Structure formats: structure tokens, C-alpha cells
Amino acid sequence: MIRKIETYDWLERRLQEKQVQVDTFSFAGDYYSLPNLILLLSRPSRLELLMEILETPLPVRDDK
């Protein structure tokens, strides 16, 4: 679930009351960056998302 920071958390609280596992990501960005966030979070599992993040190479500095 992605929730805009200023919005009401009614649905999130109702799911927690029913002991439904819910991951909430508070979103404070603009609506132009929201599609990129949705693509990132639409992975089938947390493990797959973690593995993709860990497989991303780190930038290398060229100042030798």
C-alpha cells in the first residue's frame, strides 16, 4: 500500500485491526515519480526486491 503522507490512514488501520499483513510506504514525492515507485514495489516478494537492490552495482568514482 502506498499512502500519501498528508492523507488519512483509515484503510491501513482497519487492515491492521483484522491482523492482515500490510506494508505501507509513505510517499512524499510528486505524482510524476509515483509510477517509478509503483514499478519498484510491484515485485512478487520482498526477497525478490531485496535481491534486485543487492545486484545493482554501486557507482565507481574516477578520481585517482
Grid cell in block for residue 24? 505501507
Tens digit of each residue's pLDDT (9 = 90 or more) over 30-46: 777 777 777 777 767 77
Grid cell in block for residue 4? 500519501
Q: Which residues of 48-61 are buried (b: 16+ CB within 10 A; e: fewer)?
A: eeeeeeeeeeeeee
Tens digit of each residue's pLDDT (9 = 90 or more) over 3-31: 666 666 788 888 889 988 877 777 777 77
Q: pLDDT band for 55, please (50, 70, 90 cuts).
A: very high
pLDDT of residue 3: 66
Is pLDDT of 1 > 70?
no
Domains in the chain: boundaries:
2-55
Is pLDDT of 61 > 70?
yes
